[in-house]
Amino acid sequence: MSYNSTLPTDDEYIAAGPGDIRENFRALKEDQIVDAGTVAGLSVGNASGNIPESNGIVNVNLNADLLDGYEASAFATVSHIHSAATTSTAGFMSASDKTKLDGVATGAQVNQNAFGNVVVGSTTIQADSVTDTLTLTAGTNIALTPDATNDAVTIAVSGTVASATTAAACTGNAATATKWATARTLSFTGDATGSMAVDGSAAASTDLTLAATGVTAGTYTSVTVDEKGRILAGTNPTSMDIDITGNAATATTATTATTATTATTATKTSNLKGIAFSMCNPASGQESARFSVPSAKTLSAIKVMCSSTPSATTTLILYQNSVAIKTLSISEATTTTTLSSSVSLAADDVMYVAFSGSVNGITNITVQLMVVDA
């Protein structure tokens, strides 16, 4: 048992009272139980003004002089906090720093800004450890010069370098030559001739002489050109024959007799002549060769003959001294245009024709100017 302040009770048996009294005395003596109601008028409790009670509850306004032998100044207040540590000031670890620390792998080292892989062609050389070493090995006739002070390696050619195709040794002055050992003469023959000496030390050039075709230098209104564009012959005709078909070349009378209803004076046509321009494989906007009129003439009609019917209406322009004087619309293989009023051509007038736009499939074309002497 233990001390019980309610024993003995007033209504218990007399025989039980002595035992209760003896037990309470024993507890007071041997168990050292003291349950004083007040001391100097103060009650036991945890409130301000109570005699402090050790029951796990904070005693309000307890003014203890020492705690485990330490003054109050040795302990922090409830509101005391520490700032997060910085690189210059000590402090507590911040949450972000703790997250960063937890992310550091076991055995991690300070980043040395080193390459983990070195790629040579299609081969990747990978470091096997943080202390792995990359070794440079000199090939045939290659010299490696290390510079530990400046952390550099100089790679240079040493001796004779083998040929990349035959593996034959490079001999003579080929490794250091600035020109050929023997100069050579480069010659041109055929339609253009010329020659020059070449030794490889510098760029070289020479003039080429075109072979003569036999045509005397001058200006021609009619020329013959070969497949290479060279002029083989040149002439200056004063007139050009007009194609005559049927029996017109030999006829003495008209095929069909015709009776004149009105008396007229016939125009002399014995001097009818033609000026012709021909173009092969013309391009859009191409001009014909120029023709210089030898003497004064009168233009009365224009005949255009194409190798085939144009794919679309094609425009051809006649020029006199670079001035357009007639625009022709070509839609048939052969077209003859009679001028409403004749055009006077003076001696030395320069005549030519030119396409205006696309040639629409025309591969060959001849334009005849019907003229008579003025």
Residue at 96 is within a domain: no
Asked if residues 240 and 368 have their Cβ atoms less than 8 Å apart, the reply is yes
pLDDT in tens, 201-246: 888 899 989 888 888 888 877 888 888 888 888 887 765 555 555 5
Residue at 199 is within a domain: yes
pLDDT top residue among 265 and 345? 345
Pick from 332, 329, 327: nearest CA to 311 = 332
Residue at 166 is within a domain: no
Domain CATH number, residue 355: 2.60.120.260
- pLDDT band per the 50, 70, 90 thresholds, residue 170: low
The pLDDT of residue 313: 93
User: Taking residues 338-366, what's their average pLDDT?
Assistant: 90
**Structure tokens that stand for 354 in this block:** 């030119």
Residue at 303 is within a domain: yes
Residues 284 and 366 in one domain: yes
Instruction: Locate the DSSP E strands across the chain.
Output: 38-39, 42-45, 51-52, 117-120, 123-126, 142-147, 152-157, 184-188, 192-198, 209-210, 222-225, 231-235, 272-280, 291-292, 297-306, 314-320, 323-330, 334-345, 350-355, 364-373
Residues 232 and 309 in one domain: no
The pLDDT of residue 163: 56
Query: What is the largest distance, in Å, between two alpha-carbon atoms of the chain?
Result: 192
Residue at 285 is within a domain: yes
pLDDT in tens, 16-61: 888 888 888 888 777 766 655 566 778 888 888 888 888 888 888 8
Residues 354 and 278 in one domain: yes
Residues 281 and 352 in one domain: yes
Residue 318 pairs in a beta bridge with 326, 353
Q: DSSP 3-state assignment of 101?
A: helix
Domain total in the chain: 2
Residue at 352 is within a domain: yes
Virtual torsion, Cα 116, 119, 123, 127, nearest 10 deg: -20
The pLDDT of residue 215: 84
- pLDDT band per the 50, 70, 90 thresholds, residue 353: very high
pLDDT in tens, 119-144: 888 899 888 887 788 888 988 888 89
**Structure tokens that stand for 264 in this block:** 């007229």
Residue 187 CA to residue 53 CA, distance in Å, equals 126
Instruction: Look up residue 272 and give its DSSP letter.
Output: E
User: What percentage of the chain has pLDDT greater than the value 90?
Assistant: 12
192-198 and 209-210: which strand pairing?
antiparallel
Name residue, tokens 């290390």: 146
Res. 15: pLDDT tops 50: yes
Residue 3 CA to residue 22 CA, distance in Å, equals 10
**Type of residue numbered 281:** N
Residue environment code for 118-149, b if the CB has 16+ CB neighbours within 10 A, otherwise e: eeeeeeeeeeeeeeeeeeeeeeeeeeeeeeee
User: Taking residues 78-103, what's their average pLDDT?
Assistant: 86
**Type of residue numbered 355:** F
The pLDDT of residue 262: 39
The pLDDT of residue 321: 93
User: What percentage of the chain has pLDDT greater than the value 70?
Assistant: 82
Query: Could you please report the per-residue DSSP string of 287-356?
Result: B---EE-SS-EEEEEEEEEESS--SS-EEEEEEETTEEEEEEEE-SSEEEEEEEEEEEE-TT-EEEEEE-
Indicate the average pLDDT of the chain. Answer: 80
pLDDT top residue among 72 and 91? 91
Residue 140 CA to residue 53 CA, distance in Å, equals 95
Q: Which domain holds residue 228?
A: 186-236
Residue 328 CA to residue 322 CA, distance in Å, equals 16
Residue at 215 is within a domain: yes
pLDDT in tens, 241-300: 555 555 555 555 555 554 444 333 333 333 445 688 888 888 888 998 888 888 898 888
Residue at 277 is within a domain: yes
Residue 127 CA to residue 132 CA, distance in Å, equals 6
Name residue, tokens 């507590």: 92
Query: Could you please report the per-residue DSSP string of 249-268?
Result: TT-SS-SS----SS--PPPP
Residue 130 CA to residue 152 CA, distance in Å, equals 21
The pLDDT of residue 187: 92
Residue 211 CA to residue 193 CA, distance in Å, equals 7
User: Taking residues 146-173, what's their average pLDDT?
Assistant: 72
314-320 and 334-345: which strand pairing?
unpaired
- pLDDT band per the 50, 70, 90 thresholds, residue 327: very high
Asked if residues 191 and 228 have their Cβ atoms less than 8 Å apart, the reply is yes
Pick from 265, 314, 318, 275: nearest CA to 297 = 275
Q: Residue length, the chain?
A: 374
Residues 282 and 362 in one domain: yes
Q: Residue 360's Cα: distance from chain center in Å? A: 39
